[in-house]
Amino acid sequence: MLVLDLISTTIATLSFLGAGSFLVYLVATEKNAPRFAESLVKIDASDFNLLVSVIIPARNEEQTIEDCLKSMAGQTHKNLEILVVDDSSTDNTCNVVRSFSETNKNIKLLQAGAKPRGWVGKGWACWKGYEASRGEFLLFVDADSVLAAAAIESSLKYALEKGIEMFSLSPSIQMKGVFAKAVLPMVTGAINLLYPMQKVNDKNSHRAYVFGTFVLVKRSVYTAIGGHEKVREEIVEDAAIARLAKSAGYNLRVERGPQFVSSQWESDPRDIYQGLERVTSTSVRSFGLISILNAVLLFFITLYPIIFVIVYAAIRTSNALLIGFIASVLSILIFLILDGFETKTISGKISLSACLYPIGSIFFIAAIVSTSIKVSRGSKIMWKGQGYVQPARKRNADKFQLRSDFR
């Protein structure tokens, strides 16, 4: 019994050390993340009037597309063409867009049509938007994105002055419902852990990602790397585009931009879970068994301390367990701080929702396990009512595959 107590206490202590390491690393990462509002102070107020093609893929977005288009119509940069590409919507999305296009001639509705064999995700809609566009710069925006009036103008000036060829802003995110508040801080914490912005912006680092809510790219660069056609088999296509651009030597930059871009996340538990399966699917196919081990590690760091505290409160068998109890309590406190820290980063405020992190952890762990099973069996990953089979990938390809395109 003493041996079991010692093992349990050792695991609890290691969990505490792991949680503490995460806290220190993530706080340092956030401190070093570039902030677009601060970057703008350092550029000249030059006037650029280049044509920007805003491409908005939309599938069943009747609840969000109106706010998105209102923000587009109010941009200070007026030389825009706004192309909404309908991806086989079955709701009122098209009628909402048509209503806007009647009063704003810059807004056009396109039909993506059926995806050709081999295409997955929203990549096909993005590609059709590109084919119909004329702008020297392309701006890919999700249908639930809302931009501040100066977002496009400021980003264009910044990119041109700094020689940035692909630029993305992280948004503030509205989290509605218990499950969104439980899951999203866990997800963003994992992204910040694996993809610190200073590494993404470092030309000597292979790490690359963009936020699908706002991706500004030079047309010549997009064309040169093959655009979405080159990554047509990717479920998480925007992160794949970022890898293409950076690996080809182009200047990729990502900055924090909550004052300039906002977005909404899913609130339905099923949609949230399917979104987790989608974004973890690429990691799973690259790492295989290691992905399952990551799920086990996540369990021991986030859930094991809670179980330990509950068991200790019930039995209290030895002094050895007291050390484990203290370590577990400290681990729980650290994760409450971590979750609150991430919640403030993505939504701008701290709330009691940090207490929901065990639910987020359960969702995350379950998604990794279920996705591993689906990928190994060649089963479909569901997203927005459509099923996709994740193609095989060599194990050593594209390390650090956790994706950033969470909606």
pLDDT profile of the chain (407 residues), mean per 10: 84 94 91 92 76 96 94 95 94 94 92 89 92 97 96 95 96 90 88 87 92 96 96 87 95 96 89 86 60 85 95 78 93 94 84 90 91 80 72 42 38
Q: Which DSSP symbol is given to 115?
A: P
Domain boundary among 231, 266, 301: 266
The answer to whether residues 364 and 333 belong to one domain is yes
Check: CB of residue 157 under 8 Å from CB of residue 260: no
> pLDDT at position 96, please?
95
The answer to whether residues 62 and 48 belong to one domain is yes
Q: Which structural domain, as residue segments, surrounds residue 361?
A: 2-31+271-389
> pLDDT at position 281, please?
76
Q: Within 10 A of 282 (CB to CB), how many other CB atoms are there?
A: 25
Is 191 contained in some domain? no
The answer to whether residues 37 and 20 belong to one domain is no
> For 120-159, b where at least 16 C-beta lie within 10 A, e where not — what string?
bbbbbbbbbbbeebebebbbbbbbbbbbbebbbbbbbbbb
Say which CATH number the domain at 55 has.
Answer: 3.90.550.10
The answer to whether residues 344 and 250 belong to one domain is no
Distance of CA 68 to CAs 52, 95, 341, Å?
A: 16, 15, 28
The percent of the chain in helix, strand and coil, each rounded to the nearest 5, is 55, 15, 30
The answer to whether residues 68 and 11 belong to one domain is no
Q: Within 10 A of 86 (CB to CB), how many other CB atoms are there?
A: 23
Bridge-partner residues for 253, per DSSP? 167
The answer to whether residues 92 and 17 belong to one domain is no
Is 368 contained in some domain? yes
What is the distance between the alpha carbons of residues 268 and 178, in angstroms, rounded to a whole number?
9
Is 301 contained in some domain? yes
The answer to whether residues 113 and 229 belong to one domain is yes
The answer to whether residues 243 and 346 belong to one domain is no
Distance of CA 113 to CAs 116, 124, 131, Å?
A: 9, 9, 13
Crossing angle of helices 2-32 and 178-194, in 10° steps, is 80
What is the distance between the alpha carbons of residues 343 and 186, in angstroms, rounded to a whole number?
9
As for how many domains the chain has, the answer is 2
The answer to whether residues 48 and 135 belong to one domain is yes
Q: At 129, which amino acid appears?
A: G
Domain boundary among 266, 284, 312: 266
Is 287 contained in some domain? yes
Domain boundary among 266, 284, 304: 266
117 burial type by CB count under 10 A (0-12 exposed, 13-18 middle, 19+ buried): exposed
The answer to whether residues 332 and 252 belong to one domain is no
Is 186 contained in some domain? no
Between CA 124 and CA 111, with CA 113 as vertex, the angle to 5 degrees is: 95
Is 180 contained in some domain? no
Is 8 contained in some domain? yes
> pLDDT at position 402, please?
38
Check: CB of residue 127 under 8 Å from CB of residue 55: no
> pLDDT at position 368, please?
87
The answer to whether residues 23 and 86 belong to one domain is no
> pLDDT at position 381, please?
80
The answer to whether residues 109 and 219 belong to one domain is yes
> pLDDT at position 289, please?
62
Check: CB of residue 195 under 8 Å from CB of residue 398: no
Is 152 contained in some domain? yes
Check: CB of residue 168 under 8 Å from CB of residue 138: no
